[in-house]
Structure 1
Amino acid sequence: MTQSPAVRTVGPRGPVRLGDRAARTLTTELARHHGAKSALLVGVDAESAVLAAAIEALLPGDTLTVVPADGTGAAQLRDHITAQGSWVADRLRVVDSVGEADPADVLVLGQPLTGTADEARSTLDGLNKYLTDGGVLAAAVPALPGMTSGATAELERQGALFGVGADLVLRNTPPVRVHRLRFTPADATVAGRLGPAYRPSSVPLTQNMHIDSNGVAAAGIALGLAALTRAARPKSKLWLLPALAAAPVAAFFRDPQRDVPDDESAVVAASDGRVLSVERLRDERFGEQEFLRIAVFLSVLDVHVNRTPVAGKVVDYFVVDGGFAAAMKPAAEHNVAAYTVLDTARGTVVVAQRTGLIARRIVQRAPVGALLAKGERLGLIRFGSRTDVYLPADAAEALVGPGDRVLGGASVIARWL
């Protein structure tokens, strides 16, 4: 009988535990997959927040196999699951060791990795054979320096090779980083069955409005400058300038919830803003075919979080150097731009994030190999800018024209023929 991989959860500075927010982040791949799927949860006990999050994420048709943590009896776990009721008990199976489990679409390591690099590598190597083709393994490591003996560095290395997403969870003791790894390629069509991924680093203000982590950091810097100014010059009112700037700076990075259309033929806007142009063109970087390009200008007052217009798999990402002309001007065609290339069921789709006169920083959060749902957050551009969506011209019809206002992830800008 194959034993479960050993996982050390006590680092050089003491035990590392996973709270509710980290648990939800670990199980995000399970929660966002709308189709029937199989999951394997390794190293939990009855009180585990990760087990509770996995149970909450289950949908009809899902199955979940649970492997107890070292020193935890399988009988105790079975009793706990039975107490959840027949709906849960019918979908969960407890096994004594991972060797008794079948390969799963999603594998979650229920305890953080805190040992050496060799121990972390051995654990991952022992688990990835329990993944189906294209399956995802989720694991957490402490995010603070010195909290492990090499496991954090090993997960960073594995993430560079196989990573399809990573999230920093600050609201945990200590903070952890959750890595999602895919060791074999996934079919791009699977993206059509996914919902947008949960992102823990944004800060909720209301049920429908969040602030992106970049905004939290920028507002924190402004308040820090205010505090330093007041300490240095207590009789001066100069500290009010950065203090009053904190709120509008944070508001610039607002990240509202959006209702993404269920219509499979709908292509949604990649950003908020005003449509600049709709044109057919060719771009040899993306193939010989003709594309339909829809360009949208974002003013400094628009939401700057960018979203994917269609479901697909990231197959390429590159940045082209250039200038910083005003984004609404024709010269912006030659500005610095980041291109995310998606493989979709309808062909190649490209999202271009362009800088502007004020915008000088592009953030893109979707690594090559990631599967993105329609309307999922892709990244953002800091201050006024432009996004372009390239669609196969023979497969799509534009539904907007120059001057139209659109909302990222919600407005339908085109329809598949």
Structure 2
Amino acid sequence: MRFAPGVRRFAIPTFAAAAVLSVLAPPLSVVALAVGGFVAWFFRDPDRRPSGPGVVSPADGRVSVIRKEGEQLRVGVFMNVTDVHVNRAPFAGRVERVTHRPGKHLPAFSKESERNERVDIDVATDEGPAELSLIAGAFARRIHPYVERGEELSRAQRIGHIDFGSRADVLLPPTYGREDLLVEEGDRLRAGESIVAAQER
């Protein structure tokens, strides 16, 4: 099983504590082991492949936002604690800019989460400009982008992860309209696999 970067920072201290507690307080060592196991499971990073042509989901979770922003559509996916938290590139393109924006840590499913800490990744695609946003949630405290300015992205490539909760948005290229969307609010998606939008060629 592959794990996202950062798993050691959380899992190793927990498992070390379990080893110490196995001598000092065996019942507590069981709790520490369970916590360590949960942390390792949370940072799991399974392989994914797109299920068809089109824009793939940037995250595991439920569609929580679909709205028009100027000439583009935004689709937001809320990740709960049981979802894989490694994010994927919805499309191929070139990274134009990676911007960290400090902010609050409000629940990622609320409308107020627009003010949360986030990392915006501007991407130039064959269909025009697009953007990916990794948004921290109430319990998330670190966003880890894997990509840098000038990097070429492939569709479904790993682009980052967020520690413990949050939301991932994709601002679709301007050539995509509502008629191209294949999802609705409340739908469950899998990062790098589920198709969010597609156009007839």
Q: Given the two structures, how large is their TM-score scaled by the length of structure 2?
A: 0.91
| Alignment RMSD | 1.7
Counterpart residue number, 1:250? 40
Matching of residues 291-330 of structure 1 within 5 Å = 291-330=72-111
Stretches of structure 1 that go unaligned for 5 or more consecutive residues are 1-204, 283-289
CA distance in 1, matches of 2:27, 2:65: 46
Give per-residue Cα distances to partners, 1:248-279, cap 9 Å, x unaligned. 1100011111122452xx00000000001211
The match for 1:413 among 177, 196, 200 is 196
Give 2:168's aligned residue. Answer: 387
Counterpart-to-counterpart distance in 2, 1:211 and 1:395: 34
Deviation of the 1:356 alpha carbon: 0.7
Greater RCO structure (CA 8 Å; 6+ sep): 2
Q: Which residue of 1 aligns with 2:185?
A: 402
SS in 2 for 1:386: strand
Q: Distance in 2 between matches of 1:341 and 1:322?
A: 19
Larger radius of gyration: 1
- Would you say the 8 A contact 1:267–1:416 is kept in 2? no
Deviation at 1:402, TM superposition (A): 0.5
2:16 paired with 1:239:
no
State the Cα distance separating 1:380 from its structure 2 match: 0.5
3-state SS of 2:90 partner: coil
CA distance in 2, matches of 1:262, 1:399: 12
List per-residue Cα deviations over 1:369-389 (Å, max 9, x = no partner). Answer: 111110000010111210110
Contact kept, 8 Å, 2:4 with 2:161, in 1: the verdict is no
CA deviation profile, 1:158-210 (whole Å, cap 9, x unmatched): xxxxxxxxxxxxxxxxxxxxxxxxxxxxxxxxxxxxxxxxxxxxxxx3xxxx2
1:260 aligns with 2:63: no
Name the counterpart of 1:212. 4
For residue 350 of structure 1, the aligned residue among 106, 131, 137 is 131
Residue 336 (structure 1) aligns with: 117
1:271 matches 2:59: yes
Q: Name the aligned partner's letter for residue 191 of structure 2.
A: G
Rounded Cα–Cα distance in structure 2 between residues aligned with 1:318 and 1:365: 13
Post-superposition offset of 1:241: 2.3
**For 1:309, what is the secondary structure of its paired residue?**
coil
Q: Classify the secondary structure of the residue corresponding to 2:120.
A: strand
Distance in 2 separating the partners of 1:237 and 1:406: 38
* Count of equivalent residues: 198
**Partners of 1:398 and 1:414 within 8 A in 2:** yes
The normalised TM-score by structure 1 is: 0.45
1:3-402 to structure 2, matched below 5 A, reads 205=1, 210-230=2-22, 234-235=24-25, 237-261=27-51, 263=53, 266-282=54-70, 290-396=71-177, 397-402=180-185
Q: CA deviation at 1:226?
A: 1.9
1: CA distance, partners of 2:42 / 2:140? 12
- Percent of residue pairs identical: 33
Residue 216 of structure 1 and its aligned partner are, at CA, apart by 4.0
Q: Partner letter of residue 14 of structure 2?
A: A
Contact 2:96 2:122 survives alignment (8 Å): yes
In structure 1, what residue type is equivalent to 2:49? D
Answer whether contact 1:252 1:304 (CA < 8 A) is retained. yes
